[in-house]
Structure 1
Amino acid sequence: MKEELYQQLYKDLAALLDGETDSVARMAETSALIYERMKFFWVGFYRVGAAVSEAGAGSAAAGCATELVLGPFQGPFACLRIAYGRGVCGTAWKEARTVVVPDVEAFPGHIACSSLSKSEIVVPVYRDGAIVAVLDIDSTAPDTFDGTDAVWLEKICSLV
């Protein structure tokens, strides 16, 4: 069932995004469609922020971004900025990999924007080989996300 939902979502999203070049519009449409179809608690993007102008800011070198900035999303209010390596989003960015968290309470350094969130998946979004954003999805049920979600959300992020 989940596989079929993702197959249709991917097909529909590809058609919706066809010809659209604006990255914010693409993220907005993607988060809206996932939220509507999959009924998750929160779906949205955090964009890699502007590069710092001098060395010493955080753990990144001069010219490197040090935080993620809230982008298009669906759901309740969210954290505006997340530091590199912090929480699930910052970890996915730092480690350049999809992070599946069955129980957010057990994740070291989890950033709780809502006490209703029980599980989470974060998927990096790449452009020209660099991470430009992460897709963050929260569920009110524990252990919601698995390998099927990871595979399909990575495919979906390739459309963004």
Structure 2
Amino acid sequence: MPFKNLKHQATTIFANDKATAKERMAQICELLRDGVGYYDWVGFYFANHDTKTLHLGPYVGEETDHTVIPFGKGICGQVAVSNNNFVVPDVKIQDNYIACSMTVKAEIVVPIFKDGVNVGQIDIDSNTIDPFSPKDEEFLEWICEQVAMIM
């Protein structure tokens, strides 16, 4: 896994305060999709706690109709409620799954916390069954910590 190298590259992106937070997050999406062979769609969703909805932010990959997701719906919506990482090794066996593409086989969602509040999440779809390991979770938790600092 190339996480050590990706961490170094991501640190450079996060440190570029000449770019907006949104621009840096878009660069992170590209870095992750291009750097990890089984990350086929990488994006951020951000919470609106008043409407209890998630709103799509920067992403790379196939276009999605899922630009607004209610809390509790799908994997992302469940993470907005549970505040926990959610790894789905095989989306076919997940009851509350929102299909974005017929090619998606697995998904991982990790929340972003700012001042103790779940403000969003990184969502990664893979076209490979069961590709995610604890190393992915650990790396993505670090990514989310860095995103929180630039928000």
Q: TM-score, normalised by structure 2?
A: 0.89
- Whichever of the two has the greater Rg, that structure is 1
Aligned residue number for residue 14 of structure 2: 17
Question: Deviation at 1:19?
Answer: 4.3
Aligned residue number for residue 139 of structure 2: 152
Question: Deviation at 1:126?
Answer: 1.4
Match of 1:92 among 61, 71, 79: 79
Aligned residue number for residue 46 of structure 1: 45
Question: Deviation at 1:22?
Answer: 3.5
**How far apart in 1 are the matches of 2:55 and 2:143?**
20
Matches within 5 A, 1:9-158: 9-20=6-17, 22-39=20-37, 40-49=39-48, 51-52=49-50, 65-78=51-64, 79-158=66-145
**How far apart in 1 are the matches of 2:117 and 2:21?**
15
Amino acid at match of 1:44: G
**How far apart in 2 are the matches of 1:127 and 1:32?**
23
Question: 1:2-40: per-residue Cα shift (whole Å, max 9, x none)?
Answer: 1xx111111111112114274322321211110111132
Identity percentage over the alignment?
Answer: 35
Structure 1 residue runs of 4+, over 4 Å off? Answer: none
Aligned residues: 144
**How far apart in 1 are the matches of 2:87 and 2:57?**
20
Question: Deviation at 1:83?
Answer: 0.7
**How far apart in 2 are the matches of 1:149 and 1:102?**
13
Question: 1:57-83: per-residue Cα shift (whole Å, max 9, x none)?
Answer: xxxxxxxx4110111000001111111
Amino acid at match of 2:14: L
**How far apart in 2 are the matches of 1:142 and 1:117?**
8
Aligned residue number for residue 60 of structure 1: none
Aligned residue number for residue 62 of structure 1: none
**How far apart in 2 are the matches of 1:148 and 1:130?**
24
Describe the SS at the equivalent of 2:33. Answer: helix
Describe the SS at the equivalent of 2:140. Answer: helix
Q: TM-score, normalised by structure 1?
A: 0.84
**How far apart in 1 are the matches of 2:99 and 2:129?**
14
